[in-house]
A and B are shown apart, each in its own frame.
Chain A
Amino acid sequence: MTILETRGIGKTFGSVLALREVSMSVAAGQVLCVLGDNGAGKSTLIKILSGVHRHDAGTYLVDGQEVSFASPREALDRGIATVYQDLAMIPLMSVWRNFFLGSEPRKGLGFDVAKARRVAREELRAMGIDIRDVDQPVGTLSGGERQSVAIARAVYFGARVLILDEPTSALGVKQAGVVLRYIARARDRGLGVVFITHNPHHAFPVGDRFLLLNRGTSMGEYGKDDITAQELTALMAGGAELEELAHELRRE
């Protein structure tokens, strides 16, 4: 069941063609990896999907209906949640305060603090996230734990599609593995996941489909059976360029 789909979508900023003719789709319980080097148009694509920018060419469909989001809030209301790499959490605030930020449960006039603490603890456990104490400031968590909490938050607030902007790029091997595990867990809970990365080694184990972007346009969408990790890497960097580089660096 396809939740989110774009057909020939594009975006220009002034005279710059940031994105053109990109078609992709993601279904429930599926992970679509969006791969591309810096400047390939990955962030423009996710900003359109998450409602930060409006597309100016092509069509964007959610549940088969054409949409054009004016704000991230509208996308959120349709169940499309985005976890950004750098601004996912507020370091000085506790885990539970972060978890409910912007959607605090009410109790009379106030904020139901007891419920927030309890639910945050339960939800993190349900995702298998091992946080010692939900009262600790998020700043004391590791990068991987922060991303995981942000993912658990999106899942709890009814996200059907999770857009992850380079969640593993700043992490070490072990931490990246932790985040990949939560991506798989979100997928198993029936969410569609759009996973943006420039690292094919992170994309390949968890992805079902791979969308390759280069210089603002699509270089094709591949199923897992159609492509190997090596081919992915080669395509991403532009195979010819890599060979040339290897040639250049060879010892004389």
Chain B
Amino acid sequence: MTVAADERVARVGMARRLLIRPELGAVVGLVVVFVFFAAQSPVFRSPDGIANWLDPAATLGIMAVAVALLMIGGEFDLSAGVLTGTSGLILVTLATRFGFNVWPAMLVGLVVALAVGLANGLVVTRTRLPSFIVTLGTFLMLQGVNLGVTKAITGTVQVSGLRRAEGFEVANAVFAGTIDVGGTSFRVAILWWIVVTAVATWVLMRSRAGNWIFAVGGNEQAARAVGVPAARTKIALFMTTAFAAWLVGSILALRYTSVQANIGIGQEFIYIIAAVIGGCLLTGGYGSAIGAAIGAVIFGMADKGIVFLGWDADWFKFFLGAMLLLATLANRLVRRYAEEVRH
């Protein structure tokens, strides 16, 4: 019997093993999009070009990876985009209007962001309301606070002047600087993105918490019945997304030294789209962090590639929609194939 069982495993083969990986569709998309732009634009495939499109991919990717974890855990966070703005606004406002050093100002931003994540998580787990609605509420409230407070303090809709704040030089180098690789300068955000993706992948695939994330997204009741701390897992996921929003908000604030009060609005859907292109199911329980990171690269490529080809940037939105539809279709096919009952 032992031998027979092994033979049947062998027959399943590598093809299926690869096909049931959630990031497969994203990898195919990555190759297609790269070839499409690289074939027509020499700049696109040059090191400078690569550094150029990896930059938007990095800041989007950090968020997409965190949002992917949350989606695998079966929840959404529509407040994630605006929260990047809130974190940035806190940093710049404290540092420029209240004489804070950059580092403590960032710490305050982190505490506020984590508190928002905690609040999202608590409301969702306690009330069992759909996170779509709960975080839509947070999204609107934060949007109001961002504008209201900024206007009250500065009289305009932006805060600026972070460059003059104490501690700016080092913080800027750590979060918003560049690194030279073979004569091309890459944004340091790319490094943060790789670290976030690596940590998220390890957590998902090689930690107990990862098993719990898949479980609460796949079937929360069943997970709870075998002793998984479902509420704690979900709250931790909301706080992880909030942490990512703080990181990205700080990176952008330090890079541009000023923050618009309306920044981040509309980004929440881009994060979700990147995660879905990366193989996350909207219904939870399935997906990958690397996939979401690849989804973000596809975005970065298309965003900059369209400019390199000299096309109207408006076409980016069209591309976005088409990618999303294709990705969801591909995911569904892959999942059906993986799940097909074999007797």
Contact = CB atoms under 8 A, between A and B. Distances in A.
A binds B: yes
Contacts of B339: 91-92, 137, 139-140
B185 interface: no
A100 B211 contact: yes
A72 B225 contact: yes
Interface in A205-227: none
Interface in A129-187: 130-133, 135-137, 139-142
Interface of B: 1-2, 5, 8-9, 12, 17, 20, 202, 205-208, 210-212, 214-215, 218-219, 221-223, 225-228, 285-286, 338-343
A133 B12 contact: yes
Q: Interface majority SS on B: helix, strand, loop or mixed? A: helix
Interface residues of A, number: 35
B218 A90 contact: yes
A113 B223 CA distance: 19
B73 to A, nearest CB: 13
Contact of A93 (B205, B206, B214, B343): B214
A90 B215 contact: yes
9 contacts: A72-B225, A88-B222, A91-B339, A93-B218, A101-B215, A102-B228, A103-B226, A130-B5, A142-B343
Given A88-B222, A93-B215, 5 more contacts: A73-B227, A111-B206, A136-B12, A139-B341, A142-B341
Nearest to A154: B226
A106 interface: yes
A14 interface: no
B198 to A, nearest CB: 14
Max chain B CB contacts within 10 Å: which of A101, A140, A142? A101
By secondary structure, the A interface counts as: loop
Interface string A77-100: 000001010011111110001001
A50 B307 CA distance: 63
A111 B343 contact: no
Given A106-B208, A140-B340, A90 B223 contact: yes
A102 B219 contact: no
B222 A104 contact: no
Contacts of A91: 218-219, 339
A16 interface: no
Contacts of B218: 90-93
Nearest to B217: A92
B19 to A, nearest CB: 12
Contacts of B2: 125
A168 B78 CA distance: 43
Contacts of A106: 208
Nearest to A157: B226
A109 interface: yes
Given A91-B339, A110-B207, A111-B210, A84 B225 contact: yes
B219 A87 contact: yes
A36 B338 CA distance: 39
Nearest to A116: B211
Contacts of B214: 90, 92-93, 97
Contacts of A142: 341, 343
Contact of B208 (A76, A84, A104): A104
Contacts of A109: 207
A63 B340 CA distance: 45
A140 to B, nearest CB: 6
A109 B211 CA distance: 14
Contact of B207 (A97, A111, A133): A111
Contacts of A110: 202, 206-208
- What 3 A-B pairs come out closest when comparing CB atoms? A102-B227, A102-B226, A90-B218
A97 B205 CA distance: 10
B287 to A, nearest CB: 10
Contacts of A130: 1, 5
